[in-house]
Amino acid sequence: MESTDLDPEAAPDEALQPVEPPAPSHWQEFLDRARKSAQRDTPLEVRGTLTRLTGLVLEATGIRVPVGAQCIVTQRAREPVLAEVVGFSGERAFLMPAGDVYGLSSGAAVAPAAPFVPVPRLHESADEAHAADAGMLRLPLGDGLLGRVIDSQGNPLDRMGPIANVTSKSFSRKPINAMDRAPVRDVLDTGVRAINALLTVGRGQRIGLFAGSGVGKSVLLGMMARYTQADVIVVGLIGERGREVKEFIEDILGEQGRARSVVVAAPADAPPLLRMQGATYATAIAESFRDRGQHVLLLMDSLTRYAMAQREIALAIGEPPATKGYPPSCFAKLPQLVERSGNGLNGVGSITAFYTVLSEGDDQQDPIVDAARAILDGHIVLSRTLAESGHYPAIDVEQSASRVMHNVVSREHFELARRFRSIYSKYERGRDLIQIGAYANGSDPALDEAIALHEGMGRFLQQDMYEAASLDEVLEQLKVATNAEPGYL
């Protein structure tokens, strides 16, 4: 029998020859990555069914995804609806839609959504690419957002084309260890005379603007956006009037301010999920710049609308109301959002945050006002009485306070501010007697001094919205307003 190539004894010397492995190639790397991907425990795609729609909440069965995961609700002859899982009960998942639910009916398909994934880049590792498979929302972050106006989902609203030079990342993160944060030690110039002089803000401070509707919160925010010394400005317009978005960009920021700003807009007509997401997204954008060592000014208007959006969601899924209709989860969400701002790790970068807080009925004991006052590093109260009398900015210096002022200003500045408050308060307590003519000059020397200085103090506290007052000017003006003698300290 003739030997053939298939006979193992035909060429023993050739059979023992070592076989050289093929040269590495892109194909080999692709096969290796595919093999590793196949070895992972990849869950099968799960689809559920929409069974109920009550108010703002969708209920689905047959789908098991974690809270915070994104899902797509699809039905024939209508656009898909993006929704986020906000709770569950047994086999039922509660979803909050991010779009219009008009036209949905029972039996619509519910499936996990593919998260936002940008164009692949060579510098991204395989772990970063695989992180998108978790099903959590990932939104664009990076320098490409500067000068842009975007919504809560990272979509441009300014009609300036797609956003470039960004990377897709999750906007949720672990809280920073309190011992790793640098204390607030550096003063921040806001350009507002009353704040610089009497309520001095430190870099990395979180402070609230408390006022009722129509008292001038947005105008005061605009002044700080123009004049505050910061590398990047992030503006979150949450639950406010849609008209304010374009006005804030064109009339307040201007071309120069817009180049270093990012505006996230989630107006009042947006679903509650998008309003909450807008506040978190604006904070995540500020964090991304802070982590790179930059000083960020975060302006959020308003914290109350964020709490109201959480109240709508919580009540819709059955959470019992607690204080004035606000469920307990609202008061848990507020510090989780606020604590993300502040100084970065070991003093690298900072976020100085101003949050407007709406006082319903001008009630300073409103539950959200009271909760915000307790978790912030200071509060600036705007008075309706001052606003109605033409006093702008309508800052009530008696009710306002900065909890870090003593750490960031000189002793001379602090004593001058204390003297100003004392004289101003003395006049306010005797205002009624003075106006009706019941006070006789000379009866109280301290009140006589307050009467003499009151007019100049009133001019000192007022400022035009297009006028900047720097820190360097404030100290001398404060001496003049209080008529302080040299060396009186």
Co-location of 306 and 218 in the same domain: yes
Average pLDDT, the chain: 84
Whether residue 247 is predicted with pLDDT greater than 90 in this model: the reply is no
Q: Which domain holds residue 302?
A: 139-409
Cα distance between residue 310 and residue 366, in whole Å: 17
Co-location of 458 and 399 in the same domain: no
User: pLDDT tens, 273-290?
Assistant: 999 999 999 999 999 999
User: pLDDT tens, 315-334?
Assistant: 988 889 888 889 999 999 99
Co-location of 222 and 248 in the same domain: yes
From 409, 432, 460, the end of a domain falls on 409
Least confident range of 40-54, 100-114, 403-417:
40-54
Co-location of 208 and 85 in the same domain: no
> What's the pLDDT band for 3 if we cut at 50, 70, 90?
very low
Closest to 204 in 3D by CA, of 343, 355, 378: 343
Burial class (CB in 10 A: 0-12, 13-18, 19+), 250: exposed
Co-location of 313 and 381 in the same domain: yes
Whether residue 432 is predicted with pLDDT greater than 50 in this model: the reply is yes
Co-location of 59 and 74 in the same domain: yes
Q: Is residue 180 part of a domain?
A: yes
Give the pLDDT confidence score for residue 473 in this predicted structure: 87
Give the pLDDT confidence score for residue 488 in this predicted structure: 46
Give the pLDDT confidence score for residue 83 in this predicted structure: 92
Co-location of 263 and 156 in the same domain: yes
Co-location of 274 and 150 in the same domain: yes
Whether residue 10 is predicted with pLDDT greater than 80 in this model: the reply is no
Co-location of 321 and 422 in the same domain: no
Whether residue 49 is predicted with pLDDT greater than 70 in this model: the reply is yes
From 409, 444, 459, the end of a domain falls on 409
Instruction: Compute the average pLDDT of residues 162-171.
Output: 86
Q: Is residue 20 part of a domain?
A: no
From 389, 409, 429, the end of a domain falls on 409
Q: Is residue 355 part of a domain?
A: yes
> What is the domain-level CATH number for residue 86?
2.40.10
Number of domains in the chain: 3
Instruction: Compute the average pLDDT of residues 351-371.
Output: 87
More confident position, 26 or 244: 244
> What is the domain-level CATH number for residue 473?
1.20.1270.330
Least confident range of 58-62, 256-260, 279-283, 369-373:
256-260
Co-location of 425 and 383 in the same domain: no
**Cβ(262)–Cβ(145) under 8 Å?**
yes
Q: Is residue 106 part of a domain?
A: no
Q: Is residue 118 part of a domain?
A: no
Give the pLDDT confidence score for residue 18 in this predicted structure: 55
Whether residue 199 is predicted with pLDDT greater than 50 in this model: the reply is yes
Q: Is residue 3 part of a domain?
A: no
Co-location of 57 and 155 in the same domain: no
> What's the pLDDT band for 356 if we cut at 50, 70, 90?
very high
Q: Is residue 121 part of a domain?
A: no
Using DSSP bridges, classify how beta strands 92-97 and 261-266 pair: parallel, antiparallel or unpaired: unpaired
Co-location of 443 and 309 in the same domain: no
Give the pLDDT confidence score for residue 375 in this predicted structure: 94
Whether residue 22 is predicted with pLDDT greater than 70 in this model: the reply is no
Q: Is residue 107 part of a domain?
A: no
